[in-house]
Chain A
């Protein structure tokens, strides 16, 4: 990282570093792999450091998450462009379960939810992660994703319904397999 004097560094540590968990969590769900998320989150923090002079106070979490999001999309565009093409795709492809028997019962729902969430297009995934896991307000989501608040509501609505139907379709398939 460059361009930080001691005073900037202190401000950066106080304002931005508390949100490293949020940065990683968003990257993990957008990229779906922890190793990639770690690499991209680190890159995003480097960028945040470089752009820190341009940050004049306000919501540091939203500011950082916006950088994380942009970095994730640039990374996806470069490494897995196909994933960005399935924009608002109604056809869902949940990954088949590894071996359902091997999953501990306590973790079963977590696994099922993860797979369903990962089967959604990135734009739906991010809005659910920001709202349901990160607890962001509509205003924050609008700032992070650069979409109007009205669109936040309708996207959330569609994302929630898609997640529900992804959950029922995978439950349904598993039910069939068990029969």
Chain B
């Protein structure tokens, strides 16, 4: 049998992730444990072997070149219009107007693209969460328990409500990371389908629901009261809209 600390403190100690006090305490444990010291040696040997073998593979020059080319392509248009502005003042004024108009249109399109992109990411995350089976960080249908669980982990107030009477039973919640920010996820069961509702704070104004589908999953995205919601499922989009109405109240 392995030592109880082998999967936790031993790893933290080896990776120098423990506080000084915990490390000192663990060193006392090492003096009398019969397994941990041997495992520590194995881990050390393995790590050294991995370093020595130089398994790290840096990016090939061809990849760097492609990325640079893409970046240049992205900014070429802006760079070219600048000298023109200097040369012809009259033209400059016209161009400026055009640029502003263009920018306005562009920024609208951009927001839409951005939202659609994000929804796609969320659908991927939903599919992945089904696959890896780690659906819930907290598994509970108790609104207060779920709220309390999130309260310790989030900086915004989360509307966690159970709609079992309406056919959407709260299963629990978890945290996920989407493009570098933490998002809350509420999980509902609708007949045999699971629905993930991704929730995160936003600075944008309220929007009415937008729907879409990807890879056999439907999503509905809306913003209300500086919070953005995106519900994803293989349930029908009518069912998702029903859940949207329940959440939005």
**Hey, which bits of chain A sit against chain B, CB under 8 A?**
1-6, 9, 12-13, 17, 20-21, 23-25, 28-29, 34, 38, 41-42, 45-47, 49-51, 53-55, 58, 62-63, 66-67, 70, 73-74, 77, 84, 87, 109-110, 113-114, 117, 123, 128, 131-134, 137-138, 143-144, 146-148, 150, 153-154, 156-158, 160, 163-164, 167
CB distance from B133 to the nearest CB of A (A): 7
Beta-carbon nearest neighbor of B53 in chain A: A110
> Closest 7 CB pairs between A and B?
A24-B59, A63-B180, A1-B74, A110-B53, A21-B58, A157-B7, A1-B70
Contact of A34 among B57, B74, B124 (CB under 8 A): B57
28 contacts between A and B (CB under 8 A): A4-B71, A4-B75, A6-B75, A9-B74, A13-B71, A24-B57, A34-B60, A42-B67, A50-B113, A51-B114, A51-B179, A51-B180, A54-B114, A55-B179, A58-B180, A62-B180, A63-B179, A77-B127, A109-B49, A110-B53, A113-B50, A114-B53, A132-B50, A137-B17, A146-B175, A153-B7, A157-B8, A160-B43
Contact of B180 among A3, A5, A41, A55 (CB under 8 A): A55
Q: In the complex, given contacts A113-B53, A164-B46, what are 18 additional A-B residue pairs having Cβ atoms less than 8 angstroms apart? A: A4-B74, A5-B78, A21-B58, A28-B57, A38-B62, A49-B74, A53-B114, A55-B179, A74-B128, A77-B124, A114-B55, A132-B47, A138-B15, A144-B177, A148-B137, A153-B7, A160-B11, A163-B46
CB distance from A17 to the nearest CB of B (A): 7
Find chain B residues with CB under 8 A from A42 CB.
63, 66-67, 70
Cβ of B19 within 8 Å of any chain A Cβ, yes or no, is no
Q: Is the CB of A154 within 8 A of B15?
A: no
Q: Is the CB of B59 within 8 A of A54?
A: no
With A131-B15, A160-B43 as contacts: A24 and B63 at CB distance below 8 Å: yes
**Hey, which bits of chain B sit against chain A, CB under 8 A?**
6-8, 10-12, 15, 17, 42-43, 46-47, 49-60, 62-64, 66-67, 70-71, 73-75, 78-79, 110, 113-114, 117-118, 121, 124-125, 127-128, 131-134, 137, 175-177, 179-181
Beta-carbon nearest neighbor of A73 in chain B: B128
In angstroms, Cα B181 to Cα A54, docked, is 9
Chief secondary structure at chain A's binding surface: helix
Residue from B53, B59, B71, B176 having most chain A Cβ neighbours under 10 A: B59
CB distance from A80 to the nearest CB of B (A): 13
Q: Is the CB of A153 within 8 A of B62?
A: no
With A21-B58, A133-B50, A133-B55 as contacts: A158 and B180 at CB distance below 8 Å: no
With A4-B74, A42-B67, A87-B133 as contacts: A143 and B177 at CB distance below 8 Å: yes
Q: Is the CB of A20 within 8 A of B64?
A: yes
Beta-carbon nearest neighbor of A150 in chain B: B8
Q: Is the CB of B70 within 8 A of A45?
A: yes
Q: Is the CB of B55 within 8 A of A110?
A: yes
Q: Is the CB of A158 within 8 A of B71?
A: no
CB distance from B60 to the nearest CB of A (A): 6
